[in-house]
Structure 1
């Protein structure tokens, strides 16, 4: 797609509001559901392994379709794909709220994730397309603030809704917001510029990447319950290897690939994304398990648990701004390495939590974890995009980075859930339901958090090597 649509100042502000609606809905939904997972599990009599698919189906759809919908927007027009994403997200939200079975909820969460992928993939690009260059930095700062507000509001709002109404309303709340945003998008977003001829859409690559990601996450999530040597698990693992190999072979040969394989040859790009993926894995795995610890091990009310889970989001919002300024002064390497070590410390403290851990200690550790995340992600993004990709490849690099991070998020939910369930089953030798004693539940959660601390240390080691290899990465 080519061209830049110049809009009057008033319409620029209205378009920004529409885009802000999109990123707010996507960020709110990323945190509002987790706080309600214990209540949803009780509603459907599901264990941790099964209920994790309420999160996993959304994250997998998001990760699998980010590149696909970004590419589709180039071919069919940003406005069309963006509005279609809003419609799918809103209908998916309504369907989630109306779900009568867990399988229905999981399926409709995937539908939500596809819509969310359109919003996540296209919102930054639409800033470039519709708003003037001289305001771009300030506008992206506004969007970052909106995202932080959505992330912070999610557990608070979800906690109060679940405590005083029912979990169904955490999905219904998206419907009126979505309807207003869809109407506004139809009326305010200008038509797409002329679309350039291209090599076409990579259908084969799209199918292969979704198949590879889905089968891998299924293998990690269900391997413990079905048995690692069961025919189903062996089959899905083989499917992962075959589809993953075919995807990378196909991407090297096709004329219109979903990913730029040359970027992966950059050591900085690969290492920076590896570090970012690991910390996103730990982040999402921690936030998946923490509601179960607070509500089922600590026996806190859902609304109180929601308030506690807003703490890391708030400290992330504050320290994310500080990290940007410190990164310019001291460089990203020091910050990312130090932040990963700080995150390792927070996870180590989480691994010591039990049923008697005081709320002030929990708040302080959650705040420390949020500080670590806030100090890590902005300079990590600078490492990935600032030193590893040349002019003209920033858009592709950005979409690949977001896809890799969302894959990490899916891994985190699957891995932390699997570790917790394994320890619980090993201790109790019964199925991991929410009827198990709080003490045994806490034991499983502590084991997952301890492994998270180990992963954070690995992230710190990777981050410490990136700038050292900066010169060679550019010529790789």
Structure 2
């Protein structure tokens, strides 16, 4: 659940396309009218594969961790390896479609995604699963922007809005059904079916693409690819993520951790240097000089870090601590999704009525209250009184935020840069979640270890019991009970582990609340309520 629902600017990625898609090129379309419903179907099913995969895996993690005997930090890599490659290569995936054909790149992405899904299901150990998930991320980076661009290319401007609405509606259904379906498969069959479900969907999409989807290319097909930018973005993100995930087990003084951190920092710096020189950069740095654009992206970075990092641990809490089934855990965020779906039209009018600044201050502030509410329930909490209020408040806060955020990003730049701007904002939201899961994982490990040590002292634990749990601490809430322990000791250890995880969960959620407050503050300081004049300037009317 690191990426709940759609990332910001998804609809505008369809509307404008990545790197100059056809959405803004005119009224017409070369796609035959009879083929358009097939194009829409292929885009819906294809993007649904990525949406489902992005949410199902979090619900399956406890089962994966138990079955493959993985540590909690290896389980993080199951999510991070996919999200890292998706975030770093998303913009390049869109550009590849513009250059070499959207239909072709989309089909390649579907094929890679399907084959890597089979590899995930067949993984015999967690290392193989992590590697297969990384390949899945590459496939996702090709199919996600490809699915959006296919709609843009197929429909003329007067029909595009209806197609976008249909895609968006099905995406909302996917976001709601995906985690519940994944939980059902985990509970009644196996976690492997959370990946194998992609195969029939992929075969259906490839058949539709082969028979009914015409080829198209973007206007910027001769502009060149920013491969150095993609490589450096991957190195920068990957190095920092590796350091934070591995530090709790290897230690911050470890050569591998320090080397990864250095690679991450140097890669990030080199990325910005390369973007200044690239002919067609992934991130045109001149956009960052536009106040509303940089402010909106800073808000996105902070708020989606809170959302992705905080909600990564939510299903783990429900399943491993509270004892809920995977199906129930998958359904726990349905109110969040339904609120966003039901109120999206109302939220889209907020900028017109109040300007962009006020909703982008109030929305994250409400979200901060929601995150703080997640910190209240203890072990054995009821969902209805413990977690539902937090889910509802957080959902309302994000609803107030997302549509005005997308509008602010698009209004900050001219029409010729709208596709690039929406793509950058979408990638920032995904990168924020990748970084936050890693950083919050280190925070969780520190808080868990500290709390568990305190509980063991209170129990008067023997040296043998303490040594056993020291070896289990990397499993967090999945820590095993010492073999041969009597019933009283086993119950005390189980309670201590659960309460230690909750202590870490509270640190994570309060940190998420702090990030949400900072995102509201960034909007207050950097966003101007009056939309900039056309062309991307920040002048006031």
Task: Give the TM-score range, shorter chain.
Answer: over 0.9
C-alpha distance in 2, partners of 1:112/1:197? 25
1:329 CA displacement: 2.5
- CA 195–368 in structure 1, closer or farther in 2 if over 3 Å, else same: closer
Distance in structure 1 (CA, Å) of the matches to 2:332 and 2:190: 20
Question: Offset at 1:354?
Answer: 0.7
Whether 1:83 and 2:107 are equivalent positions in the alignment is yes
Gaps of 5+ in 2: 1-20, 454-469, 480-493
Counterparts of 2:416 and 2:219, CA distance in 1: 18
Shift of 1:367: 2.1
Structure 1 counterpart of 2:389, from 355, 364, 368: 364
Tell me which residue corresponds to 1:65.
89
Question: Contact 2:82 / 2:133 at 8 angstroms: preserved in 1?
Answer: yes
Residues 181-227 of structure 1: per-residue CA shift (max 9 Å, x gap)? 01101111112258766243233222211111111111122222222
Question: CA offsets, 1:305-353, max 9 Å, x none?
Answer: 2222333222222223321133332233222211111111111111112
Q: Does residue 21 in structure 1 map to residue 82 in structure 2? A: no
Size of the aligned set, in residue pairs, is: 475
Q: Is residue 487 of structure 2 the alignment partner of residue 426 of structure 1?
A: no
Q: 1:257, CA displacement in angstroms?
A: 2.3
Q: Provide, for residues 383-413 of structure 1, a one-character-per-residue CA deviation record: whole Å limited to 9, x for no partner.
A: 1111x21121111111111111110111222
Q: Work out whether 1:252 is the aligned partner of 2:276.
A: yes
Task: Provide the C-alpha distance between the structure 2 equivalents of 1:148 and 1:121, rounded to a whole number of angstroms.
Answer: 17
In the other structure, the counterpart of 1:49 is 73
C-alpha change, 1:233 and 1:142, in structure 2 (3 Å) is: same
- Show the counterpart of 2:169: 145
Q: Secondary structure of the equivalent of 1:392? A: helix
Contact 2:39 2:150 in 1 (8 A): no
Whether 2:474 is the aligned partner of 1:474: answer: no
1:51-450 to 2 correspondence within 5 Å?
Answer: 51-193=75-217, 198-361=222-385, 362-386=387-411, 388-429=412-453, 430=470, 431-433=473-475, 434-435=478-479, 437-450=497-510
How far is 1:448 from its partner? 0.7
In terms of mean alpha carbon deviation, does 331-340 or 75-84 score higher?
A: 331-340
CA 1:375 to 1:114, structure 2 compared with 1: closer, same or farther past 3 Å? Answer: same
1:456 alignment counterpart:
516
Contact 1:39 1:167 in 2 (8 A): yes
Report how far residue 470 of structure 1 moved. 5.9
Report deviation, 1:471: 5.3
CA–CA separation in structure 1 for the residues paired with 2:327 and 2:278: 51
1:287 to partner: Cα distance: 2.2
What RMSD over aligned residues (CA atoms) do the two structures have, in Å?
2.0
Answer with 1 or 2: which has the greater Rg: 2
Structure 1: stretches of 5+ with no match in the other structure: none
What's the secondary structure of 2:190's corresponding residue? Answer: coil
TM score, norm. by length of structure 2: 0.84
Equivalent-residue separation in structure 2 for 1:116 and 1:249 (angstroms): 27
Contact 1:92 1:108 in 2 (8 A): yes
Provide the C-alpha distance between the structure 1 equivalents of 2:42 and 2:347, rounded to a whole number of angstroms: 28
> Alpha-carbon deviation of 1:143?
1.7
* CA pair 118-197 structure 1, distance change in 2 beyond 3 A: closer
Cα separation, 1, equivalents of 2:433 and 2:137: 13
**Which deviates more, 49-58 or 359-368?**
359-368
TM-superposed CA distance for 1:138, in Å, is 2.0
SS in 2 for 1:432: helix
